[in-house]
Amino acid sequence: MPSAIIVGSGPNGLAAALTLAAGGVDVTVLEASDSIGGGTRSGELTLPGLLHDHCSGFHPLAVDTGFSRQFGLENHGLRWSLPEVQYSHPLDGGRGASVWRSVDRTAGELGDDDNESYRRMFGPLTRRFPQIVDEFLQPLVHVPGHPVPLARFGLYAALPAALLARRWESEEARALFAGVAAHSFRPLWSVMSSAIGVALGTAAHRYGWPVAAGGSSTITTAMATRLAEYGGRIETGVSVRDHRELGRPDLLLLNTSPSAAADILGDDLPPRVGRAYRRFRHGPAAFQVAFAVEGGIPWAHEPSRRAGTVHVGGALPEIADAERRVVRGEMPERPFILVGQQSVADPDRAKDGVHPVDAYAHVPAGWTGDATRTIIDQIERFAPGFRDRIRSTRSLSTRQIEQYDPNFVGGDIVTGANTPFQLVFRPRVALNPYSAGIPGVYLCSAAAPPGAGAHGMAGWNAARSALAYLGSL
Ligand SMILES: Cc1cc2nc3c(=O)[nH]c(=O)nc-3n(C[C@H](O)[C@H](O)[C@H](O)COP(=O)(O)OP(=O)(O)OC[C@H]3O[C@@H](n4cnc5c(N)ncnc54)[C@H](O)[C@@H]3O)c2cc1C
């Protein structure tokens, strides 16, 4: 039986492990931390009994993928749970806009000027999204199986987000798109900065933005349960520094950042791959605050109280300015903030009327300041009375985020800048981007295509490459 070692038990590491084990490989996963899951772990952070997602909270792109269809984690303890409003965007004066599952309802609420235009863009994309997402969740350079829907998606995705947002007239509609596009951590005037926003925005209509009931950790515990059924093993508390410690497995898959992979593989890495891994660019960072909030956040824009995710940053020009500054290394006075209200979708997470809220601000890479007060002020701006409802907070700086999970280099929670170059060629220019240039060795983290997210698709794709390699021997 061929053997494989997977370094790292994030969703990509475990997806790779599971795919290899199902393919008849004897799999061992080595994880540096004491617990599995990487960016999908959950647990108490503020008050006893209040369940927070430590990192990943919402999973629109994990619901229907090649990996999810192969392994059916819903039969192994994973249950997706949807909020009523998928995401929303409050503006000053109690105004705002919201995304519902229905394209028509979302478009209708944007008013007469924008109704038709929203429907014309998101209607066809939503209908063809299963085909688009299959294309999107693999290396972008490939022969497309569904060229027509992919071309339609590409027409929008290629544009700067701030330009695409101008197809709508109202401040509400423009802000709604700016908020979802800002997930890319890119200046909104840069080429292809729409890509992630168009994908996530369409996914909200097709699949919703679900939380994992009982915490995101259930995503990876379901993978681990499945892996054990195939005879795979996981060892925690093992930090791998040098691949020579690992004996000679037939396959080695690294669920790490490219620079960590270069350290682990050392001189055995072909020099051109080593150079590419060390040149890999990380993006801006997050500063995280977990809150325990009595009665939830009192958003003045009422639908935001029913939204799983709330994008906080004001109108399009304000968000565009904040994102531009962050990429340039300047801390904006009013940064863009994502607020996760998981208990809206998963009510059991609230306890005695106190709700867990997981928020993070976009800040410059490696920023050393404390954004707790700034985050509270920004939320208070759109939810007067929020401050008085806070019962407990727990903040994590960019450095602490990297200490928590070394793949988030400098606090870069998406494991690699989404520059146009890296959207197309990550982690390096190669026919097989997962290959580390050593036979049987692969990079399978979010630094590889399709990039960030707790969907496991980088792991699944890398493992399929590895199985093809074994088959070719
Ligand atoms: C605050 C925050 C919010 C987020 N929100 C979302 C969201 O809502 N939705 C979403 O889809 N994604 C979200 N993400 C991103 C998501 O968590 C990541 O993209 C995803 O976890 C990447 O998976 P991965 O398997 O590649 O790596 P990771 O999850 O980072 O796992 C890597 C694992 O490898 C281990 N490791 C690394 N080096 C070594 C070594 N040398 N030896 C042994 N073990 C090692 C690490 O300890 C870690 O457990 C968020 C991330 C953060 C931080």
- Count other C-beta atoms under 10 Å from residue 17's C-beta: 32
Strand, helix or coil at 255? coil
pLDDT of residue 146: 82
What does the pLDDT look like over 387-409, one tens digit per residue? Answer: 999 999 999 999 999 999 999 99
Atom in ligand 1 nearest the alpha carbon of residue 58:
8
Query: By percentage, how much of the chain surpasses pLDDT 90?
Result: 95
- Distance (angstroms) between ligand 1 centre and the Cα of 317 equals 31
pLDDT of residue 136: 81
- Ligand 1 pocket, CB under 6 A: 7-13, 30-33, 38-40, 55-59, 239-240, 255-256, 260, 286, 288, 360, 401, 405-408, 413, 415, 445-446, 452-454, 458
Query: By percentage, how much of the chain surpasses pLDDT 70?
Result: 100
| Phi, psi (degrees; rounded to nearest 5) at 325 | -65, -45
| Residue among 255, 310, 360, 434 whose CB has most ligand 1 atoms within 8 A, to mutate | 255
pLDDT of residue 228: 97
Atom 6, ligand 1: which residue's CA is nearest?
Answer: 56
Q: Which of 472, 459, 471, 466 is nearest to 65 (CA)?
A: 459
Domain annotation for the chain: domains and CATH numbers? 3-46+53-79+213-280+417-472 (3.50.50.60)
Instruction: Report the C-alpha gap between 93 and 44 in whole angstroms.
Output: 34
Average pLDDT, the chain: 96
Which of the residue ranges 137-141, 178-182, 421-425 would you say has the lowest mean pLDDT? 137-141
Atom in ligand 1 nearest the alpha carbon of residue 447:
26
- Distance (angstroms) between ligand 1 centre and the Cα of 121 equals 32
pLDDT of residue 285: 98
- Count other C-beta atoms under 10 Å from residue 384's C-beta: 13
| Residue among 9, 56, 336 whose CB has most ligand 1 atoms within 8 A, to mutate | 56
Beta bridge partners of 359: 289, 339
Q: Which of 143, 145, 124 is nearest to 134 (CA)?
A: 145
Atom in ligand 1 nearest the alpha carbon of residue 452:
19
> DSSP secondary-structure letter at 347?
G
Instruction: Report the C-alpha gap between 290 and 313 in whole angstroms.
Output: 18
pLDDT of residue 308: 98
pLDDT band at 1 (very low <50, low <70, confident <90, very high): very high
